[in-house]
Amino acid sequence: MRADLHAHSGVSDGTDTPAEFVAAAAAAGLTVVALTDHDTAAGVPAAAAELPSGLGLLAGMELSCRFTAVDGVRVGVHLLAYGTDPANPALRASCTRLRDGRLSRTRRMVALLAADGLPVSWEQVARIAGGGSVGRPHVARALVEAGVLTSVQAAFTEEWIGAGGRYYVDKVEADVTEAIELVRAAGGVSVLAHPLASQRGRTLSDDEIVCLAGAGLTGLEIDHPEHDRDRRDHLHRIAAAAGLLVTGGSDYHGGNKPNRLGAELTAPGVVEDLLARCTGPALLGGPA
């Protein structure tokens, strides 16, 4: 088994259609791939409908969350959710709130840019997002299209829409403890995405991660392109102490990021363990 448990399609801020996504996963030699679009699982049925033989699709999403520290500081965290019931009303409502928040927040970022005379419009960003879960990469692509920037990456700086940037606006986030419970109640399992990806902003302390384990978190995504060897070693010690599973994923975003499918993998035994902890059928299709 070769399993990549973190990847995005154009239903959020990747660039592949769901059909292109599963074809790319098979071409990368994967036998299991999770589709984890930001705040939506809307791409899963279309991806499942186009599954090449020998590829299993793990239904997932990546929820935009915050952890409120004891000093009141809010830390943005991403929660990977796998195997949730797509019809679960509470989880659907939470995703809708997060996506609606993305719409208004992106409109504000575009308005700030336009107010400074930059040639971007909401219509252009909405066209690039194509009706899916809108995010900063879509704004970045609009800036590239307009000739303002030469790459999507170049937008993620303080001058533009990077963390703390001039045109950056916070997004609506779910409380991470509540999200873990929502995912569990919807029959799924949750894994903390890239816990030490520190270039995105403040990350959780060891104690804060242990606190999430107590709240029902199932795993830590340790094998992620933004974690160096030291961070991985450190997280392995936390996972062992807190009884958390260890996962890996590439965080593939098609043409919006250099991350390649299969660059990071999850051990087969962990995939089985995750599936066993989901109450419903989480894996669609399957490895040959």
Q: Give residues in contact with ligand AMP (CB under 6 A).
A: 13, 38, 135-137, 152-153, 156, 171, 253, 256-257
Any residues with CB less than 8 A from the CB of 236 and at least 6 apart, and which?
A: 222, 246
Q: How far is the CB of 120 from ligand AMP (least distance, A)?
A: 15
Q: Which does 156 bind (CB under 5 to 8 A by kind): Zn ion, Fe ion, ligand AMP, none?
A: ligand AMP
Q: How far is the CB of 22 from Fe ion (least distance, A)?
A: 18
Please choose, from the candidates 186, 193, 179, the residue with its C-alpha nearest in 3D space to the C-alpha of residue 278. 186
Phi, psi of 186, deg, nearest 5: -90, 10
The interface mask with Fe ion, positions 64-103, x = CB under 5 A, is --------------x-------------------------
Q: How far is the CB of 172 from Fe ion (least distance, A)?
A: 16
CA distances, 288 to each of 54, 59, 227 (Å) = 4, 18, 31
Q: Whose structure tokens read 């040959």?
A: 288
- Amino acid (one-letter) located at 173: E
Subset of residues 145 to 204 that bind Fe ion, contact rule: CB under 5 A: 193
CB-CB contact of 262 with 2 (8 Å): yes
Residue 78 vs 105, nearer CB to Fe ion: 78
What string of DSSP letters covers 200-218?
GS----HHHHHHHHHTT--
Q: 3-state DSSP helix/strand/coil percent for the chain, to nearest 5?
A: 40, 15, 45
Please choose, from the candidates 40, 45, 112, 116, the residue with its C-alpha nearest in 3D space to the C-alpha of residue 81. 40
Q: Which does 4 bind (CB under 5 to 8 A by kind): ligand AMP, Fe ion, Zn ion, none?
A: none
The interface mask with Fe ion, positions 136-155, x = CB under 5 A, is --------------------
Rounded CA gap, 90 and 87, in Å?
9
Of the listed pieces 43-51, 61-69, 195-203, 215-223, which binds Zn ion according to CB under 5 A? 61-69
Q: How far is the CB of 16 from ligand AMP (least distance, A)?
A: 13
Residue 160 vs 252, nearer CB to Zn ion: 252
Residue 16 vs 251, nearer CB to Zn ion: 251
Residue 66 vs 253, nearer CB to ligand AMP: 253
Subset of residues 88 to 117 that bind Zn ion, contact rule: CB under 5 A: none
Q: Which does 95 bind (CB under 5 to 8 A by kind): Zn ion, ligand AMP, Fe ion, none?
A: none
Residues forming a β-bridge with 266: 3
Rounded CA gap, 196 and 194, in Å?
6
Residues forming a β-bridge with 33: 4, 57
Q: Which residues bind Zn ion (CB under 5 A)?
A: 62, 251
Q: Which residues bind Fe ion (CB under 5 A)?
A: 13, 78, 193
